[in-house]
Structure 1
Amino acid sequence: MPVKSQFFVFEGIDGSGKTTVSKRVSEILNTKSIPNLWHREPTDSEFGKKIREFLQEKIKLNPEEQLKLFLSDREVSVNETILPSLKNGQSVVQDRYYFSTAAYQGRDEEHAADILYMNEDKGFPEPNRVYFLDLSPEEALERRATRGGNKEVFDEQLEQTRIYQNYLAILPESTIFVDATADLDEVVNFCVEDILNSFS
């Protein structure tokens, strides 16, 4: 069947499993003749590397500097990866997009909405589907504790609660909420089936 490239975005708070799920979904789609690229933001651009340093608490950035870096990194992401891939008939399965920036950098729901509009005003492409891996901040905290690894700047429970509430306020109505407490294979298969249906 002829396939028109599409743009799929996976969102969720830290510990929701979106990196693992989106990678698995991308791999399975490739085996089902849906050529696609798995991509993530922040990218490995100079801006993305600086963002990661901030997230790992190696450098300090004020909110304006954070936002500026995220927008600069997204311009690189869109112009060098997302748009060229879609144009070449390759779908994009992406871990985080501008909804993350709005949810994480937004002081509250209203500010998060402002950041979302700021991204939309820049003409960044809208995804065909947004999957939100829904996990409560409490469950996500438990997962991150079990997983171990380095502590990051937004790890505090209060921060994750703020981010979760921002997400609920700014995600588009068409967002597909996925129960992230379900078995991993179940979550992956649900997303794959939904994506395959979107092509038919």
Structure 2
Amino acid sequence: MPQNNQFFVFEGIDGSGKTTVSRLVSEVLLTKSIPNLWHREPTDSVHGKKIREFVQGKLKLSKEEQIETFIADRECSVNDVILPTLKSGKSVIQDRYYFSTAAYQGRDEEHAADILYRNEDKGFPEPNRVYFLDLSPEEAQERRTSRGGAEEVFDEDSEQARIYQNYLAILPESTIFVDATAELDEVVAFCVEDILKSLEG
């Protein structure tokens, strides 16, 4: 039986399936008696709500305001949820973390790296594993179109291509790239198996 608890982060561009996959991974782990909490950023804090309004196009924020709001929300996330959950002995399965902020808010790869360093300088905990649900911007766009819903500020093809390139530039070398074109149950099973290996050390 796994003896330790860890921090697992799921990343990917819009439409890659990270929210669905991370939720299901959390649920499967619970059925295997692995105590964990599914968590997502942005949170429901006042900063997280501001971010959602921005993403939905209801609020204008400059790049710097976006970065500052994400960092403020992350401070709430880390202090109110991530650290207390890990301290209680549960693992955290998280949908988006500071890699998202760097990829989405970075003008280019160099700026994305700067944003990453700003987050790391805050002393936010480093994940034990990062899973990147790898899907081309074109395939992700097809998925977003087929599922419908309101357009968001990053939906433009050029924006998704920029975000994807930023991700490739800033993700840690240890990142596990997961083929997001595979069947959902295969993707979930792959991630669960890898998390169990990590927990067993």
Q: TM-score, structure 1 length as denominator?
A: 0.99
- Give the structure 1 partner of residue 24 of structure 2: 24
Is 1:15 matched up with 2:18?
Answer: no
Runs of 4 or more off by more than 6 Å in structure 1? none
User: Could you tell me how far 1:5 is from its partner in structure 2?
Assistant: 1.1
User: Could you tell me how far 1:88 is from its partner in structure 2?
Assistant: 0.5
Specify the code of the residue in structure 2 equivalent to 1:76. C
- Give the structure 2 partner of residue 165 of structure 1: 165
Taking the aligned partners of 2:60 and 2:30, their CA distance within structure 1 comes to 39
Give matches, 1:1-200, under 5 Å.
Answer: 1=1, 3-200=3-200
Q: What are the ranges of 5 or more consecutive residues in structure 1 without an aligned counterpart?
A: none
Query: What secondary structure is seen at the aligned counterpart in 2 of 1:39?
Result: strand
String of CA shifts for 1:97-126, please: whole Å, max 9, x gaps: 000000000000000000000000000000
Q: TM-score, structure 2 length as denominator?
A: 0.99
Specify the code of the residue in structure 1 equivalent to 2:23. K
Taking the aligned partners of 1:124 and 1:143, their CA distance within structure 2 comes to 32
Taking the aligned partners of 2:18 and 2:149, their CA distance within structure 1 comes to 17
Taking the aligned partners of 1:40 and 1:132, their CA distance within structure 2 comes to 15
String of CA shifts for 1:48-89, please: whole Å, max 9, x gaps: 000000000011111111011000000000000000000000
Taking the aligned partners of 1:164 and 1:9, their CA distance within structure 2 comes to 17
Q: Are the counterparts in 2 of residues 3 and 34 from structure 1 also a CA contact under 8 Å? A: no
Q: Are the counterparts in 1 of residues 180 and 187 from structure 2 also a CA contact under 8 Å? A: yes
Give the root-mean-square deviation of aligned CA atoms: 0.6
User: Could you tell me how far 1:2 is from its partner in structure 2?
Assistant: 5.0
